[in-house]
Each structure stands twice: as structure tokens, then as C-alpha cells.
């Protein structure tokens, strides 16, 4: 396994997402207080129904970040309903303190029988960051913290959509849409990263979208201008490939051995991007990680067990985009593709890509799926269509990391874009069954040969049967 292989980051959370705990562990001692306060405090505010497809009344959060950045004071207005599953990120519940009811008819545990009910609590952000030291929950960096709101906003953990609005007073940035001073979304179970505290903000235009860099108070060798230039140059060809691309927040922090880049969507788009403090321009321009994560931003969340599709897509498109942008040579692209391909093949006892979730099958098995599909689409359309048309069609229907799609919809939209059934056929052959990719024969037809112990020599045969496909890339 190459150094690059070991460094491959997970897109969001692990394949088997951790269970989250409710606040039942901290309720003893508070139940009587809730009942008492519910009957004696001011009436809860009244809000208009959520203007979504179900006209649900949203959860409303008003948050104040303390001046020393150690605490988040949260006022929550709950709509009517039994909210037994109310909780925060796994094990972060112990950092929810000073819980009190403020109004409405609220009975334990979180049963709101009036139009709305109100709660107040405090989240110990600094203590949580010290305990977790992870951007998935809370991470301390120079000048502030990185944390998704799902770590500190009490929300239903029932897997259903519950619209919400979020207002934050204090230094705060997040990759969520905003209207009338409030961020909004349809579910808090998995939402974009937020930057809390003193981050240096740099918006970068990507056509109709904006990539905003939130850079921690770190003295990077490249400086803010250098980081903005290189990351902007990396993002533009990604946005151009998809055609329609969302705005996003990219949180830049100093890299250490325990930090890996990750992308989170769920109503918006964000990338957590650790970069070495002493990284040179040459090193950062040649890095594959920023482009890989930016590709994820342009594609919908599919969820388990389809991570191979998400990761295979990014693993295949990332070097293709970088070759087109001039930050990677064609030799390097084919060298890695040819030498890494065996890792994606089914091994003894493996099932299809939908059922075998090893690292090799997830990343390189997925990449081979798209390589094979891309070649077949080009051949059957005589070069008029490609896998790029598939992703552009999905993006045109607002398919990005901000939303959740069914894989069936992805296959349908993709095949409709090419006028073929290549994606469905490949899914039956390689995802449902452990079909072997005939890559040796494919590379011969493409006229690509890699020789040497470490793939030192890459040669091309322009007389090969499918050399014209290779040249299209």
C-alpha cells in the first residue's frame, strides 16, 4: 500500500456511523426542574410554520458564543411533539450543562404539548474540544474551534427531516445557506463544519458559487494570499467540470499526524482541510487531497452501503481534473492508475462493491467502476459522451453534497444523460456481483504501458485500438 493509499481520508464519518446517545444520562435531577419551570416561566415565542414541503414548524436555535470562546449559550424553541430522541453527538452530551425550561408546556423527557416550548442550556465547547480533539465533534485550533453544530445543538436523532433555523452571535462561519440573518436546513444529524472564533476569512469566486476560506490564526509559510491562490486554482476546474457547483466553506488548519481532510454536507457544503504550516507552493499545488475533497462537494450524499460509489467517483475524477488543469502529468495519472488497479479487484471471498467494504474495493474498486464506464460510454457514443456528462447532469439537478440522493436516482439520471444503460449494467456486473475488471486488456487497448519496479517508465502506443479514447482525456 502506497503512502498515498494510507493517507486516503474518509469522506465524512466512518462507513458504520457511530450510534448517538440521548441526554437520558443527564436528566436525573432535572426532570422535576423541567416540570416546575415549564409552568412558571414566560410563554415561548411564536414562529411561522416552516415554508418547506411539509410546512413543518422548525426548531429555532439562538446561540451566543462567549467572548472567551469557551462556551455556547443556546436558546432552543421546540415545536409541538414528543422528542424522546433529543440529543447531541456521541458522548458529547456530558458537555451540555445548565439545562432549564423557559416556557411552554413541557414535560419530561422533552414532550412539548403546547404550540412551542423553550429550553436554555450551555455547551462547554472548550472542554469538549479538549476531550475529543476531533473536528467531528470539537477541535481546538489557533484562534478558535472547528465543530459541526450537530455536536452542540440538541436535535432529534430519529433519522427524519426536522427543519431548523440557526442564529449565532459571535465570530462564526458555516457552510449553510442563510436568509434574513439566520442559517437554515432540514436536518441536524449531519451538517457542515463550522469555524468558531478568530479565523481569517477569504471569499473566492467560482463562477456563480463562492468558496470561502476560513484560515486559523496560524502563520502558514504561503500566507493567506498564497493559500487563496492555490486553493482557488484547484477549485475552479472542479466547478467547471460539474457545471453547477455549490458555495462552500473550507476550514484551513495546521496539519498534524492525527488530522485528515474531510467533507461534510447536509444542507450545505464544507471541507475541513489540514495543511502543513511549512508547505511550499509546489507541494500544495501537487497535493491530491484538496481536489479530491472538492470533487465530493459536487456530488450528493448516498450513504451506506454506497461509499464505494462516492469514493470511487472522487478517486477517478481527481487526477483527471488535475491533468486538465496542468497540476498533474498524464504520466503520473496513468502510473498510479495502472499500479493501483489491482487493489480494486475482488479478492477471495469478496462480494460485489455494495457488500465488500474494504479500503481497496471502496476506493480503487470504485475508481475502476468509473474508468470502465467512462471508456464504454465514449466507445458506444463514438466520443460524443463521457462520464463527465453523467456528473454534469446530476449537478444540473442540484445534486451536491448538500443533499441526499438514492443511488437508483443517480443511475437513472446518469444513464439518461448518455442515452445508454452503462451505469445500470456496470452496477449489476460489479456492485451486485464480484465481477473482475479486465484492466490489463483495457490498458492494452488504450495503449498505456507502465514498466519498472516502481512504474518508472510510462509509454504510449498511439496505434492501439482505443488510443483515441486516451487522447480525449
Helix (H) or strand (E) holding 307: helix 307-325
Kindly report, residue by residue over 94-105, the tens digit of the pLDDT: 999 999 999 888
Kindly report, residue by residue over 144-162, the tens digit of the pLDDT: 999 999 999 999 998 889 9
Cα separation, 263 vs 272, in Å, equals 6
Contact between residue 372 and residue 437 where contact means Cβ atoms under 8 Å apart: yes
Task: Answer whether the bond into residue 305 is a cis peptide, omega within 30°.
Answer: yes
Kindly report, residue by residue over 217-247, the tens digit of the pLDDT: 999 999 999 999 999 999 999 999 999 999 9
pLDDT at 204 over 60: yes
Cα separation, 12 vs 6, in Å, equals 17
CA 319 to chain centre: 19
Domains and CATH numbers, the chain: 1-185 (2.60.40), 199-287 (3.30.2010), 307-472 (no CATH)
Kindly report, residue by residue over 349-362, the tens digit of the pLDDT: 999 999 999 999 99
Which residue is associated with the grid cell 469566486?
205
Averaged pLDDT, 351-380: 97
According to DSSP, residue 350 is labeled -
Render 98-128 in DSSP notation, one character per residue: EEEEEES-EETTTEEEEEEEEEEEEEEHHHH
Residue (of 196, 175, 183) closest to 266 by Cα position: 175
Long-range contacts of 76-79 (CB under 8 A, 24+ apart): 76/118, 76/119, 76/120, 76/121, 76/153, 76/154, 77/44, 77/45, 77/47, 77/116, 77/117, 77/118, 78/104, 78/106, 78/110, 78/112, 78/116, 78/117, 78/118, 78/119, 79/112, 79/115, 79/116
User: What is the pLDDT confidence band of residue 41, given thresholds at 50, 70 and 90?
Assistant: very low
Radius of gyration from C-alpha coordinates of the chain: 24
User: Residue 323: what are its φ and ψ, rounded to 5°?
Assistant: -65, -45
pLDDT at 51 over 60: no
Averaged pLDDT, 435-459: 94
According to DSSP, residue 149 is labeled G
Which residue is associated with the grid cell 450543562?
97
Which residue is associated with the grid cell 481536489?
291
pLDDT at 267 over 70: yes
Contact between residue 175 and residue 268 where contact means Cβ atoms under 8 Å apart: yes
Q: Is 152 helix (H, G, I), strand (E, B) or coil?
A: coil
Query: Grid coordinates representing 440?
Result: 490489463
pLDDT at 249 over 60: yes
pLDDT score recorded for residue 47: 35
- Residues paired with 167 in a beta bridge: 62
pLDDT at 13 over 90: no
Kindly report, residue by residue over 390-412, the tens digit of the pLDDT: 999 999 999 999 999 999 999 99
pLDDT at 28 over 90: no
pLDDT at 10 over 60: no
Amino acid at each position: 500500500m502506497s503512502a498515498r493509499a494510507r493517507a486516503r481520508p474518509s469522506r465524512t464519518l466512518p462507513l458504520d456511523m457511530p450510534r448517538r446517545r440521548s441526554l437520558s444520562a443527564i436528566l436525573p435531577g432535572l426532570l422535576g426542574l423541567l416540570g416546575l419551570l415549564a409552568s412558571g416561566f414566560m410563554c415561548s415565542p411564536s414562529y411561522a410554520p416552516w415554508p418547506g414541503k411539509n410546512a413543518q414548524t422548525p426548531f429555532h436555535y439562538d446561540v451566543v458564543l462567549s467572548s472567551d470562546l469557551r462556551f455556547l449559550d443556546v436558546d432552543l424553541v421546540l415545536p409541538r411533539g414528543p422528542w424522546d430522541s433529543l440529543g447531541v453527538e456521541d458522548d458529547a452530551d456530558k458537555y451540555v450543562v445548565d439545562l432549564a425550561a423557559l416556557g411552554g408546556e413541557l414535560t419530561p423527557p422533552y414532550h412539548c404539548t403546547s404550540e412551542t416550548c423553550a429550553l436554555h442550556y450551555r455547551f462547554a465547547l472548550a472542554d469538549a474540544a479538549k476531550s475529543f480533539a476531533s473536528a467531528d465533534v470539537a477541535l481546538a485550533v489557533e484562534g478558535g474551534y472547528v465543530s459541526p453544530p450537530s455536536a452542540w445543538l440538541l436535535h432529534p436523532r430519529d433519522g427524519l427531516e426536522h427543519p431548523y433555523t440557526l442564529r449565532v452571535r459571535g465570530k462564526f462561519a458555516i457552510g449553510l445557506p442563510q436568509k434574513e440573518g439566520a442559517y437554515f436546513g432540514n436536518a441536524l444529524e449531519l451538517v457542515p463544519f463550522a469555524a468558531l472564533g478568530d479565523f481569517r476569512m477569504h471569499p473566492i469566486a467560482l463562477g456563480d458559487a463562492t468558496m470561502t476560506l476560513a484560515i486559523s490564526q496560524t502563520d502558514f509559510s504561503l500566507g493567506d494570499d498564497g493559500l487563496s491562490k492555490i486553493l482557488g486554482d484547484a477549485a475552479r476546474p472542479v466547478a467547471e467540470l460539474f457545471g453547477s457547483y455549490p458555495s462552500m466553506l473550507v476550514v484551513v488548519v495546521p496539519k498534524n499526524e492525527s488530522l485528515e481532510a474531510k467533507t461534510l454536507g447536509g444542507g450545505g457544503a464544507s471541507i475541513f482541510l489540514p495543511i502543513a504550516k511549512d508547505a511550499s507552493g509546489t507541494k500544495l499545488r501537487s497535493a491530491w487531497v484538496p481536489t479530491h475533497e472538492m470533487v465530493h462537494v459536487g456530488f450528493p450524499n448516498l450513504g451506506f452501503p454506497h461509499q464505494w460509489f462516492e469514493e470511487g467517483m472522487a478517486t477517478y475524477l481527481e487526477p483527471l481534473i488535475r491533468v486538465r488543469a496542468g497540476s498533474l502529468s498524464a504520466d503520473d495519472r496513468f502510473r498510479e492508475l495502472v499500479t493501483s488497479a489491482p487493489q480494486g479487484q475482488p479478492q477471495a471471498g469478496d462480494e460485489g462493491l455494495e457488500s465488500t467494504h474494504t479500503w481497496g474495493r471502496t476506493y480503487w474498486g470504485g475508481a475502476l467502476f468509473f474508468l470502465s464506464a467512462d471508456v464504454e460510454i465514449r466507445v458506444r457514443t463514438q466520443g460524443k459522451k463521457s462520464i463527465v456528462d453523467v456528473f454534469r447532469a446530476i449537478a444540473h439537478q442540484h445534486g451536491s453534497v448538500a443533499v441526499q440522493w438514492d443511488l437508483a436516482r443517480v443511475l437513472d439520471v446518469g444513464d439518461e444523460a448518455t442515452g445508454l444503460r452503462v451505469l445500470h449494467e456496470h452496477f449489476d456486473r460489479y456492485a451486485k456481483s464480484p465481477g473482475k475488471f479486465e484492466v490489463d486488456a483495457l490498458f492494452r487497448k488504450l495503449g498505456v504501458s507502465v514498466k519498472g519496479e516502481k512504474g518508472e517508465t510510462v509509454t504510449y502506443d498511439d496505434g492501439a485500438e482505443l488510443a483515441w479514447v486516451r487522447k480525449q482525456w
